[in-house]
Structure 1
């Protein structure tokens, strides 16, 4: 019988660079029972083939109700796509997919370019900046807030809530941010109902109807807005910052990209694979006893798919610890797999490409700032990135 892995014993090195630890775990097997420092236990999948299958396995539910758990945030926010299973998930996704179209996303291109240019204009005179605060954070937050119809004056408040919800500093702070955010979204939705239809996405979701007349309820609207706002910007912040960090720490790859701009799309995809913004998926729950990677997992267990570990599996990607923007990255799982595949993947890719292209064009000598503060890595297993990225030019 294999012993439980104590993740707390890995220390701060695991937060800064988890990949060697995932590799060591993978050598011993694709699935492990692990324990957090607070005593919480779950199953962690680190093999690509096993993880890809788990992401699409209906025996692994996303709603904790299948194991008799009702998280307190469900009463506050409601049930969103990431915590729903078919047929509820199918219904919710159908109602939002009709409004979150490729045409709507592509229509954002001129505005994204305008915003990116304005941010670069504001950065340029100083010769140095924190790339997260000055560029990688404001771009996606403005884009998703404008897309949904969130007033500009509320963005800073929203950022504080979002930070607490994705990388919480404590249970009390997490709970208060959830309550405040839910109340804000309820008020915003009522304001939009009263104002009548406009061209933003939240207004479209309020009026959206399926062919059978189905529409989103008030709590469902709140939960959908919550998910789109949080997932629509936190991940893209780290996609942009991580990609720049990966290039600046691999100067030969940066030189290759500058020499051949056609490598831009490949750079974004390789960064997603090599050091993407989502380190693990959100929890899944076993409806029944399942066997994954030769390990028998009983019903009612928590399962976490290690996205970052999967995309460094040498069985799928040769020499996986090498950052190579010419690599064939097909099959990476940075946006998930199966019915929960990221709805916002086209928008994230569009923002990442425009942001990176603009930075390379405007700052030909962009480099890490040697006088900047040491990197502070985001805590927890969900998000992968640094709070600040000092650069100069």
Structure 2
């Protein structure tokens, strides 16, 4: 076996200025596995080939919990990179394995399943129309601040049972903690106590209401029954709220650019199979470029490379999605794979379809004021969200 010693920097010069940084294609075209350098000079292995990615995401020798490999001294799990907040911000479905992962997933899963969300579409569409009525008061809008952010906050508030101001604070401060700044930057240090304050407020208010039928109620009941610790209830509420926000905001904004430029996609969206349009968008422009890291618990061979115990491994989703094979278990890896597959995929699809259909039905001549190629992107290895998407609501059918 051979080990590739040189590490490729992940955040290249065009990482914030390109919707698809050149390094993604360079890595995909030059081999199935690479040694990369995350911000903070943290090393990791990156998989770009689909079949290997599928196997890796289901390999029992790889774990999500950094505590299980802490003795090997890997810097991931010690808040060295911004996205490491997912590892050290509390015990969640994102950083637990085995029985603990199953225990927590059982509490939250029933609210986010396809069957549970089957009746949610009218509610989501109502929120979309409310936001469309709001932006229709002007000739221009920022689709991030004026539409997508308040929309996902509305939906989260209703489905999760979190008051709107708490939901907005959790999304705002939580998203910052997953952002590109150094963990010790003043904004990042300030964001954590503000996030905890919002979470405590949501849990305290939820505890004061009897008989509630929502995700927050499920977390509180599980905490009361001893199935969850309070810190677990808080951490998973934070994770689910943030995960239900930024990826959807990224999908909506990318979808607007696609549909505005592609007449066939617009026809399909408005008069054909809108779900297929969003599925294609997910495959070709995943809102999160990397799967969450997994850690090797023993020496492994990864396409001829020697992986040591404790090493972190990620999958480059846009590269892995390029290959379509009927033998694969799922059409794309944009929501991850294996037992840690994102539980919010169904909700993300419903929101994105409703948002895109609503926007282009209400504003058929909507125009981007800033071309897609000139958007500024915020995010690290987590969701990459445009900083702003200014649009002209030309020819609005009000």
Partner SS for 1:42: strand
189, 192, 207: which one aligns with 2:203: 189
1:302 maps to which of 312, 323, 331? 312
Contact 1:35 1:41 in 2 (8 A): yes
**Counterpart of 1:324?**
none
Q: Tell whether the 8 Å contact from 1:373 to 1:390 is kept in structure 2 after alignment.
A: no
2-structure distance, mates of 1:138, 1:233: 10
The 5 Å alignment of 1:35-54 reads: 35-36=37-38, 38-54=40-56
The runs of 5 or more residues in structure 1 that have no matched partner are: 319-327
Q: How do 1:23-34 residues align onto structure 2 when only pairs under 5 Å count?
A: 23-34=25-36
Counterpart-to-counterpart distance in 1, 2:55 and 2:372: 42
Tell me the equivalent position of 1:366.
Answer: 366
Give 1:38 deviation, angstroms. Answer: 3.1
Q: 2:294 aligns with which of 270, 284, 287?
A: 284
Give the corresponding residue for 1:2: 4
Displacement of 1:101 after TM fit?
4.0
- Counterpart check, 1:226 vs 2:234: no
Per the alignment, residue 391 of structure 2 pairs with 391
2:244 alignment partner, SS class: helix
Map of 1:321 onto structure 2: none
What SS is found at the alignment partner of 1:291? strand
Q: 1:373 to 1:160 in 2, by over 3 A?
A: farther
- 2:122 is aligned to 110
Inter-partner Cα distance in structure 2 for 1:74 and 1:238: 19
User: In the aligned structure 1, how far is the partner of 2:373 from the partner of 2:12?
Assistant: 24
User: Is the 8 Å Cα contact of residues 15 and 380 (structure 1) preserved in structure 2?
Assistant: no
SS in 1 for 2:91: coil
Report which of the two has the higher share of helix: 1
Give the match's secondary structure for 2:141.
Answer: strand
Q: Secondary structure at the match of 2:216?
A: helix
Deviation at 1:137, TM superposition (A): 1.6
Shift of 1:121: 1.2
* Aligned-pair CA distance for 1:197: 2.7
User: 1:92-138, CA deviations, whole angstroms, 9 ceiling, x for partnerless residues?
Assistant: 11222234443442232222111100111111232221111121221
CA distance in 1, matches of 2:199, 2:160: 11
CA distance in 2, matches of 1:120, 1:219: 37
1:239 is displaced (CA, Å) by 1.2
Who is 2:262 aligned against?
251
Residue in structure 1 matched with residue 217 of structure 2 by the alignment: 203
Cα RMSD (Å) of the superposition?
A: 2.9
Give the secondary-structure state (helix, strand or coil) at the position aligned to 1:190.
helix
1:328-368, Cα deviation, whole Å (9 max, x unpaired): 99621111111011111111111111111111211111221
- Alpha-carbon distance change, 272 to 221 in structure 1, aligned in 2, over 3 angstroms: same
- State whether residues 6 and 37 of structure 1, in contact with CA within 8 Å, keep that contact through their aligned partners in structure 2: no
Higher mean displacement: 47-56 or 151-160: 151-160
What is the aligned partner in structure 2 of residue 160 from structure 1? 172
**Equivalences for residues 86-105 of structure 1 within 5 A:** 86-105=98-117
CA contact (8 A) 1:8 1:37 kept: yes
Structure 2 unpaired stretches of 5+: 80-84
Distance in 2 (alpha carbons) for counterparts of 1:78 and 1:299: 23
The answer as to whether partners of 2:295 and 2:310 remain within 8 angstroms in 1 is yes
